[in-house]
Chains A and B, each alone.
Chain A
C-alpha cells in the first residue's frame, strides 16, 4: 500500500514542476494517449501518462529517479496529440531540470574523456545505465549530436 503524504517538500517540488513547465499536472485525466503514441516506451520504466499520475499523487522520487524522463527525446508527438492540450514534453523537461539543477547529470561527461579505466567505465555504466563512449568513437559523432545530448542530459 502506498501512503500518500503531501508534506512540505512534496508541495515545493510540485510547485517547482509547475513553475518550470507552466503546466498544472492535475489537468491530466489519464486517457493514455501520450503513452500510446510515444515511439520510445519500450525503453522506458514508467509510461509518460504514469509520470503525470505519479506527480498528481506527489510520488516525487518515482518520477525523478525514472529512466523515462531521460529516454524522452522531446519529439512532441504526445504534446501534439494530448486531448487536454497538455505539453507533456515540457513536464518531462521540468523533471529533468529538477535533477540537472542539482547537478545530477544523466550523461556523465567523463565518458568523453579518453583516460577512464575499465573499472570507472563500468561504475558509470552501472549507475547511469548509459553507454560509454571513448575518445576514438567520439570523433564519429556530428556536432549536432554532441551538442544536443549534452544540452539535454547534463547540467
Chain B
C-alpha cells in the first residue's frame, strides 16, 4: 500500500473542503494512505523569488520537518500553490548546504533538524506514476460519458521548469486522467493561462478580465465544464464567475470541478459527499442532464 504524508494547507480546510473530502474518498478507494501532518503550518502560498531571502522558506521547510518526524519520505499536496511553494522551497534550500544549515540553526527549537530527505509530490503525479491511469479505469463504476470537460492547469502545476508535473507547454496529465474516467476531454487553448491569482484582492478587474477570457475559451471550444486543482483558480473562476454573469446575464455558466470530485463521481461515491452544493455556479443541472447524479 502506498503511504504518504499529506499536507492539506489552509484553504482545503475552509472554502475548498469539497476538494479535500473528495480527494480523501478517492485515495481510500485506490488504497493510497494519506496521513495528515500533525501541527502543519502555512506553506507561504507563494515561493519567494529572491535569491537572498531565506526567511520566507522557513514555513515550508518546517512542514518538511514534520514529514521527517513522521518517518515518511514523500509528502503529497492537493492544492497547486502549496505543492509549488513547498517543492520549490525544498529545492532552493537543498541547492546550497549553507542555506540548509542557516535555516536549521534558525529553527533551533525544533528537536529534529531537516535532513532534506523529503520528496514533494502532487496527487496527480501519484495517480499517473504510482497508480497509473490504466489501473484507474478499473475503478470506474459510472463513466463520465458525454461530459465535455476542459482540463485547466494554470501556473503552479506546470511552471517553472523543475516544479512542473508535466510538459510546461503541452500538458496532458489531467486530460489523460479525465479520459480514463470516460469523459470527453477538450484540451482548450487557455489551459495554461494565469487566472489573475491574488489580484482578486487588490485588483479584481484584472481577475474579471482573466477569468472571462478563460471561460470564453472553454465555451467557444466546446466544453461544458472546467476541471482544476487550485483553490485560488477555483475562487477566481467559480465565485467570480457569478459576478461576471451578474453583469452579463447572457453568459452561459461554466461549472468548475476539482479533478477529485469527478474521480469520486466516476468511482460511484455518493454525491452527498462531494460538496456540489458549495459551488457558486451549480454543477447540478449539467450532471443531471448527463445522468451522472
Q: Supply 6 A–B pairs (Cβ within 8 Å), ascending by A.
A: A73-B198, A77-B159, A77-B193, A77-B194, A81-B169, A151-B44
Binding site for A on B (CB under 8 A): 9-11, 14-16, 42, 44-46, 49-53, 56, 79, 81, 154-155, 158-161, 168-169, 192-194, 196-206, 209-210, 213, 231-232, 235, 239
Residues of chain B lying within 8 A (CB to CB) of residue A145: 198, 200-201, 232, 235
A113-155 toward B: CB 8 Å interface, digit per residue (1/0)?
Answer: 0000000000000000011010000001111111111011100
Q: Is A68 an interface residue when CB atoms closer than 8 A count as contact? A: no
Q: A142-B235, A152-B198 are in contact. Are A74 and B49 (CB under 8 A)?
A: yes
CB closest residue in chain B, given A141? B201
In contact, A94 and B50 (Cβ under 8 angstroms): yes
B51 touches A79 (CB 8 A): no
Interface pair B232/A39, CB less than 8 Å apart: no
**Within the complex, what minimum Cβ distance (angstroms) separates A146 from chain B?**
6
Known A-B contacts A21-B51, A74-B46, A151-B46; A146 and B201 likewise in contact (beta carbons under 8 Å):
yes
Complex alpha-carbon distance, A75 and B81, angstroms: 11
Q: A21-B51, A77-B194 are in contact. Are A148 and B46 (CB under 8 A)?
A: yes
Docked-complex contact B10 and A144, CB < 8 angstroms? yes
Cα A73 to Cα B204 in complex, Å, equals: 13
Q: How distant is A15 from chain B, measured CB to nearest CB, in Å? A: 12
Q: Is the CB of B51 within 8 A of A144?
A: no
CA–CA, A130 and B199, complex, Å: 10
Known: A80-B168, A144-B81. A130 touches B202 (CB 8 A): yes
Bound: A19/B50 CA distance, A: 9
Residue A83 CB within 8 A of the other chain: no
The answer to whether B10 touches A75 (Cβ under 8 A) is no
One of A73, A79, A153 near B194 (C-beta < 8 A): A73
Q: Which of A76-123 contact B (CB under 8 A)?
A: 76-77, 79-81, 87, 89-90, 93-94, 97, 106-107
* Cβ–Cβ < 8 Å partners of B200 in chain A: 141, 145, 149
Check B169 against A80 for contact (C-beta < 8 Å): yes
Contact B232 A131 (CB under 8 A): no
Contact of B11 among A19, A74, A143 (CB under 8 A): A143
How far is it, in angstroms, between the C-alpha of A142 and the C-alpha of B154 when the chains are bound? 18
Whether B159 lies near A19 (C-beta < 8 A) is no
Contact (Cβ within 8 A) B159 A40: no
> A71-B206, A75-B193 provided; 13 other pairs, C-beta below 8 A?
A40-B210, A43-B205, A75-B159, A90-B51, A107-B202, A142-B231, A143-B14, A144-B10, A144-B45, A144-B81, A144-B235, A147-B45, A151-B56
